[in-house]
Amino acid sequence: MSDPGAVGGSVTYQRLVHKNSSGFHYMKVSLVFEKEGKRIDGAFFKQLIISALRNVYGEIGAAFPFDVLKFEEKSLTAVLRVYNSGLVKLWSALTLLGSYQNETCAVRVVQVLLPYQYTGGP
């Protein structure tokens, strides 16, 4: 492929594809409640995610493997680890979550990372 701005030569483009050999993706998510000032702990947050999976995928979905690696109670942000094969299922369940225990809420997916991009901070 030639570049009209190149002087006397051509420009080549190379496509690089990196295969995720670890089998995991990391999701940075944020929980937003309609009422400001709501505080929860990490166990409550994990239960909220299990409830979201159960609502979308039933009891089998509630047994879906994922890990809450970090949870920040002040900002209600978390880093989740999920198998590559389950990324879309978890993401869709989080997106469809609208309330928990009669409290209106939403989960925002802030970032999805591959293992080599995850540095360990929320």
Task: Give the predicted TM-score (pTM) of the model.
Answer: 0.76
CA dihedral 39, 42, 46, 48 (to 10 degrees): -10
The predicted structure's pLDDT at residue 72: 95
Q: Rounded to whole angstroms, how far apart are CA atoms 39 and 93? A: 22
What's the fold here for domain 24-115?
Answer: Alpha-Beta Plaits (3.30.70)
Digit-coded pLDDT (tens) for 21-73: 678 889 999 999 998 888 899 999 999 999 999 999 999 888 889 999 999 99
For 47, the 3-state DSSP assignment is helix
Q: Rounded to whole angstroms, how far apart are CA atoms 49 and 100? A: 10
- Domain range summary for the chain, segments of one domain joined by +: 24-115
DSSP 12: -
Strand partners, 107: 31
Q: Rounded to whole angstroms, how far apart are CA atoms 67 and 8? A: 55
Structure tokens at 65: 């493997």
Q: Which DSSP helix (H) or strand (E) runs through 91?
A: helix 87-96
Q: How confident is the model at residue 110 (pLDDT cuts 50, 70, 90)?
A: very high
Which residue shows structure tokens 């047994």?
63
Q: Rounded to whole angstroms, how far apart are CA atoms 32 and 104? A: 9
Q: Nearest-CA neighbor of 118 among 47, 12, 22? A: 22
